[in-house]
């Protein structure tokens, strides 16, 4: 029987570790909130502690694993196994994470950014299974994209393909974490949805969101209120429309079979995806959308973790195909 893999995910809001079998079965996993003030070495120690925690609960120890896959919440130099940067965590410029983990574990390690990993995971195990041309979007603390073209992960000349969160869709709009204005991430990610709701309360004091202290409002609050609250519904619809604008541009460029939307915010379902589909229908070429599906991820809330597992199963093949 093939040996399982260890999957590690470093995200802006949480760290996750899990043992994953070859068919995508999550044998054991655990998660902890990300300490944004921790240094990369401190965060790595936490992640390896978590790995040790899940291994005794799995039918294998370290030497029973075949490989390790790492999903990182920021751009990654895939060929060199280094992080490039992270817009949500400080100090992650040029960290040789693949080498550091391999030295500690004594196992082969494959690392990629979280969107590429999740795109591969959805193609191997989830909503895009059987497809060869896939656009995956993660909508959470930030927005990223992973591209599966002709069956393999497309990373681009500098491992920077898929940075759709920094596609400008609202010129002159809110400031993004990258420093530019009007990026997709700045108008449609979780923090942007929460910020738009807080701003809207000045004109809609009757909103049910007013019962929550402004500093505590999250995208989840907005999505939960949207079924019955006009302000929340408008904020979600606007975010979905912006998301659709970004998707439409990508559809015109790469002509995918399916667009899979994952990440925490995607769990709001048609509140976000309904307006996104409408925007795509109005903005993308009809020939590119005739058979296009825009669907939620099937692997949430463990999409990034299963993506890391798919990376480990795929090995070091630059195309990323299992």
Question: Which of the four pLDDT bands, split at 50, 70 and 90, describes residue 322?
Answer: very low
Contact call for residues 226 and 200 (beta carbons, < 8 A): no
Element (DSSP H or E) covering residue 319? none
Confidence of residue 315 (pLDDT cuts 50, 70, 90): confident
pLDDT value at residue 267: 86
For residues 246 and 269, the model is more confident at 246
3-state SS class at 255: coil
Instruction: Give me the sheet containing 109-113, strands edge to edge.
Output: 26-33, 14-20, 5-10, 68-72, 109-113
Check residues 316 and 187 and name the one with the higher pLDDT. Answer: 187
How confident is residue 234, by pLDDT bands cut at 50, 70 and 90?
A: very high
- Cα dist from 79 to 34, 82, 83, 180, whole Å: 26, 8, 11, 28
User: How far apart are the C-alpha atoms of 222 and 234, rounded to whole Å?
Assistant: 10
> Which pLDDT score is estimated for 318?
45
- Can you give the pLDDT at residue 62? 62
DSSP 95-113: --HHHHHHHHH-S-EEEEE
Q: Quick count: other Cβ atoms within 10 Å of Cβ 39?
A: 14
H or E element in which residue 301 lies: none
pLDDT of 253 above 70: yes
pLDDT tops 80 at residue 27: yes
Q: What would the two tokens of residue 36 be?
A: 């944004």
pLDDT the model gives residue 61: 64
Is the model's pLDDT at 107 over the cut of 50?
A: yes
What is the reported pLDDT for 153? 95
* 171, two tokens: 């010129």
| Percentage of the residues of the chain whose pLDDT score is greater than 70 | 96
What domains appear along the chain, each with residue ranges and CATH number? Answer: 5-121+302-314 (3.30.420.40), 127-296 (3.30.420.40)
Sequence-distant (6+) residues with CB within 8 A of 163 are: 75, 144, 145
What average pLDDT does range 244-267 have in this prediction?
A: 95
pLDDT confidence of residue 60: 61
Question: Between 178 and 274, where is the model more confident?
Answer: 274
pLDDT band (50, 70, 90) for residue 246 = very high
The answer on pLDDT for 243 being more than 80 is yes
Chain centroid to Cα 144, Å, comes to: 6
Contacts of 45 (CB under 8 A, 6+ apart): none
Q: Which residues contact residue 215 at a Cβ distance below 8 angstroms, ignoring those fewer than 6 apart?
A: none
Q: Which residues of 260-289 are buried (b: 16+ CB within 10 A; e: fewer)?
A: bbbbbbbbbeebbbbbbbebbeebbeeebb
What digits encode the pLDDT tens for the residues 159-193? Answer: 899 999 999 999 999 999 889 999 999 999 999 99
* Percent of the chain at pLDDT exceeding 90: 83
DSSP state of 266: G
* Confidence class for position 1, pLDDT limits 50, 70, 90: low
Task: In whole angstroms, give the CA distance from residue 254 to residue 28.
Answer: 37
Structure confidence by residue, pLDDT tens digits, 131-159: 999 999 999 888 999 999 999 999 999 88
Region 277-284 average pLDDT: 97
**Mean pLDDT, the chain, as a whole number?**
92
Evaluated on CA atoms 26, 307, 300, 126, the torsion sign reads negative
Q: Average of pLDDT values for 249-273?
A: 94
């Amino acid at each position: 029987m093939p040996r399982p893999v260890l999957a590690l995910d470093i995200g802006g809001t949480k760290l996750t570790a899990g043992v994953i079998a070859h068919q995508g079965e999550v044998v054991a996993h655990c998660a902890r909130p990300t300490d944004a003030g921790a240094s990369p070495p401190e965060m790595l120690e936490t992640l390896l502690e978590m790995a040790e925690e899940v291994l005794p609960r799995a039918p294998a120890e370290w030497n029973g694993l075949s490989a390790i896959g790492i999903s990182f919440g920021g751009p990654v130099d895939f060929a060199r196994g280094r992080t490039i940067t992270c817009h949500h965590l400080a100090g992650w410029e040029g960290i040789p994470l693949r080498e550091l983990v391999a030295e500690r574990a004594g196992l082969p390690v494959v690392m990629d950014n979280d969107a590429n990993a999740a795109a591969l995971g959805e193609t191997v195990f989830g909503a895009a299974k059987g497809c060869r041309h896939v656009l995956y979007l993660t909508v959470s603390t930030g927005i990223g994209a992973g591209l599966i073209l002709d069956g393999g992960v497309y990373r681009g000349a500098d491992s920077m393909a898929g940075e759709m969160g920094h596609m400008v869709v609202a010129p002159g709009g809110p400031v993004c974490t990258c420093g530019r204005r009007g990026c997709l991430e700045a108008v449609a990610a979780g923090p942007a949805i929460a910020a738009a709701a807080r701003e809207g309360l000045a004109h809609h004091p009757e909103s049910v969101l007013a019962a929550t202290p402004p500093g505590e409002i999250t995208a989840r609050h907005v999505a939960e209120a949207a079924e019955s609250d006009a302000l929340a519904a408008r904020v979600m619809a606007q975010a979905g429309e912006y998301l659709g604008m970004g998707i439409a541009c990508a559809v015109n460029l790469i002509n995918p079979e399916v667009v899979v939307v994952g990440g925490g915010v995607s769990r709001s379902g048609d509140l976000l995806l309904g307006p996104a589909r409408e925007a795509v229908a109005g903005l993308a070429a009809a020939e590119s959308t005739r058979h296009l599906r825009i669907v939620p991820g099937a692997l949430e809330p463990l999409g990034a973790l299963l993506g890391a597992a798919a990376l480990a199963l795929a090995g070091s093949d630059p195309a990323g195909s299992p």
